[in-house]
């Protein structure tokens, strides 16, 4: 099976996007992938929109989602230089993290499941930091190995999100400064009691609060990865500072600031967020 994935990833982009166009028809009209979840998420988030507008957003999402699939597969084989040319990170962003590297600061970089976040695996190219990528381990061993290898291909280290604090601490003891990339916009794990409610897309929403706690314990700089889609296979990246003094903020303020930034991106181009995720499966109880 791995051979097939590798062969597919070597197709030129124009052929990958033809595949995406066909996949769109299958996913939207035949499989109807997670149609109810996507529809419900959009309606709750945009109560002011008409049924026709919601259908238009669903159409846009399915097209984005199919492009995301083929672009992610391309990570298996795309040369680093070619990938970097398609997702340039601004000079200002590079200078920002260089400043904190020279100061010996730990950095947490927060992003969302927006545009093509997987292509941010090119980040080690622009920094001397040891880049850690947190993720949830997959139950399917084949896809777990494949996903991890894609995320580590350009020098990052993929770690179980539950081991984030330990991984940062172990490298800190070795004198290795880290920048830890966290996608913090999915539904938190309630078994670990690390969640908080934040206003987000017209509703109270649970967010993972562990990032706020880690930032405080490590006095970490927290930045937001401002990733925008400019066209098929074309992205633009800047970094926005959330805080470089986490302990001066009220508890949970880092998460609230992060939520506002990812919400702002979503409102710019709503179709480019992962609406198929069951984001609001945990809803606050009515008082």
Distance in angstroms (rounded) separating the CA atoms of residues 280 and 206: 8
Give the pLDDT mean for 99-118: 97
pLDDT tens digit sequence for 166-217: 999 999 999 999 999 999 998 887 665 678 999 999 999 999 999 999 999 9
d(CA 35, CA 275): 10
Q: What is the pLDDT of residues 241-256, one digit of tens each?
A: 999 999 999 999 999 9
Residue-range domain boundaries for the chain: 2-74, 87-269
Yes or no: say if 225 and 237 are a contact pair by the CB < 8 Å rule: yes
pLDDT at site 1: 77
Write the DSSP symbol of residue 287.
Answer: -
| Confidence at residue 134, expressed as pLDDT on a 0 to 100 scale | 96
Reported as a single tens digit per residue, the pLDDT across 124-157 is 999 999 999 999 998 999 999 999 999 999 999 9
Residue of 263, 265, 268, 264 whose CA lies nearest to 279: 263
Which phi and psi (to 5°) does residue 236 adopt?
Answer: -140, 135
What pLDDT band is residue 282 in, cutting at 50, 70 and 90? confident
């Amino acid at each position: 099976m791995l051979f097939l994935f590798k062969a597919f990833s070597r197709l030129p982009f124009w052929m990958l996007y033809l595949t995406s166009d066909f996949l769109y028809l299958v996913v939207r009209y035949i499989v109807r992938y997670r149609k109810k979840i996507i529809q419900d998420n959009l309606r709750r988030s945009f109560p002011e929109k008409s049924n026709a507008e919601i259908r238009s957003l669903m159409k846009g999402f399915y097209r984005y989602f199919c492009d995301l699939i083929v672009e992610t597969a391309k990570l298996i084989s795309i040369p680093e230089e070619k990938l970097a040319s398609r997702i340039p990170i601004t000079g200002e962003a590079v200078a920002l993290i260089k400043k904190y590297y020279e100061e010996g600061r730990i950095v947490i970089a927060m992003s969302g499941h927006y545009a093509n976040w997987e292509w941010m695996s090119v980040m080690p190219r622009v920094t001397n930091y040891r880049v850690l990528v947190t993720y949830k381990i997959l139950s399917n061993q084949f896809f777990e190995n494949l996903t991890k290898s894609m995320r580590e291909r350009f020098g990052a280290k993929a770690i179980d999100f539950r081991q984030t604090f330990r991984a940062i601490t172990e490298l800190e003891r070795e004198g290795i400064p880290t920048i830890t990339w966290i996608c913090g916009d999915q539904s938190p794990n309630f078994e670990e009691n690390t969640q908080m409610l934040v206003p987000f897309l017209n509703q109270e929403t649970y967010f993972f609060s562990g990032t706020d706690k880690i930032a405080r314990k490590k006095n970490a700089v927290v930045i937001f990865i401002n990733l925008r889609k400019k066209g098929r296979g074309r992205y633009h990246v800047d970094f926005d500072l959330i805080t470089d003094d986490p302990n001066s903020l009220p508890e949970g303020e880092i998460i609230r600031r992060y939520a506002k930034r990812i919400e702002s991106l979503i409102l710019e181009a709503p179709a480019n967020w992962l609406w198929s995720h069951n984001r609001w499966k945990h809803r606050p109880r009515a008082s």
